[in-house]
Amino acid sequence: MKIITGIAEMKEFSHNLKKAEKKISFVPTMGKLHGGHVKLIESAKRYGETVVSIFVNPLQFGHGEDFDKYPRDIENDEKILSDLSVPVLFYPESDIVKNTGTFIVNPEYSKKLEGLFRPSHFQGVLTIVMKLFCIVEPDFAFFGLKDYQQFALIKKMAEDFFLNVKIIPVETVREESGIAMSSRNTYLDGSGKDAASAFYKILSHTAYLFKKGEKSAERLTGFAIKELIKNGFKVDYVEITDYALNKKYSDAEKGDILLAAIRYKGVRLIDNIFLS
């Protein structure tokens, strides 16, 4: 596997792929790779030459958030990527965010859901993803549905700026217990894992109630909130909205998404389920 750390080198590599009429599939990550990333990479490989980036982006962590303790394990990540026969790892120098003067913001969407609790988070995500797109120039880019709001905002950014990249969603990968795979799961001890599994079960049960005929978004979210509190969670939000994140508090419909964020013993978890 080729490891590229320089911006100019990465740009040249991408240009050469384009000259050779190859399509570039891109999987941006913050490392500490897990089964969710493996699925993103396997999807990407079906579309073109795969470039994976690893960069823990300081711009998307707020004050008091976990930037310093965010899990990092580059040796193991390299092994996972080699085993998956990924041709290129872009592992940029922290230079790529230093002295940034221009930021990408979506003021409307940043006020919703995660944005209410992490006010500068999406500005940081959109800005780094735009920078990475400018360097890697991918034809396709892959994002996990576990971070649904992130996927929706990146898709909107690509549309708003007429970017030549197709944003492709990839299903959430879950452990047997139902916990959505995430690099931050390393923060969960035994009881944290049980709690995370209960979180998923409550969301699944709420989705089941929808399937059985309960259509009121207010009653469905009310049920989920009550159950989450009963299980000892602090609830940041539980909402049902449409795929574009516009709808709120009307009747839920097939294809809508139930999204939630909770805190348990200081660990924050987010998850979502599509209603079917």
Q: Which amino acid is at 150?
A: Q
Q: Among residues 15, 34, 37, 205, which one is catalytic? A: 37
Asked if residues 233 and 262 have their Cβ atoms less than 8 Å apart, the reply is: yes
**Interface with ligand PAF includes 153 (CB under 6 A)?**
no
Q: Cα 88 to chain center, whole Å? A: 21
Active site residue 37: yes
What radius of gyration, in Å, describes the C-alpha atoms of the chain? 19
Candidate segments 82-90, 94-102, 121-129, 205-213, binder of ligand PAF by CB under 6 A: 121-129
Q: How far is the CB of 90 from ligand PAF (least distance, A)?
A: 11
The span from the CA of 109 to the CA of 107, in Å, is 6
Q: Give the CA distances from residue 94 to residues 10, 54, 141, 233, in Å, rounded to whole numbers and listed in that order.
A: 15, 11, 22, 36
Q: Which amino acid is at 121?
A: H
Candidate segments 5-13, 123-131, 238-246, 266-274, binder of ligand PAF by CB under 6 A: 123-131
**Interface with ligand PAF includes 27 (CB under 6 A)?**
no
Nearer to ligand PAF, 131 or 221 (CB): 131
Burial of 123 (0-12, 13-18, 19+ CB in 10 A): buried
Number of H helices, E strands in the chain: 8, 9
Q: How far is the CB of 255 from ligand PAF (least distance, A)?
A: 23
Q: How does DSSP classify residue 145?
A: G
**Interface with ligand PAF includes 50 (CB under 6 A)?**
no
Quick one: tokens of 61? 């962590």
**Interface with ligand PAF includes 57 (CB under 6 A)?**
yes
Nearer to ligand PAF, 159 or 251 (CB): 159
Write the interaction track for ligand PAF spanning residues 133-152; mark x where CB under 6 A is met and - where it is not.
--------------x--x--
Q: How far is the CB of 67 from ligand PAF (least distance, A)?
A: 12
Nearer to ligand PAF, 158 or 209 (CB): 158
**Interface with ligand PAF includes 29 (CB under 6 A)?**
yes
Residues in contact with ligand PAF, total (CB under 6 A)? 10
Handedness of CA 82, 85, 86, 88 (dihedral sign): positive
Contacting positions for ligand PAF (CB under 6 A): 28-30, 57, 60, 125, 128-129, 147, 150
Active site residues: 37
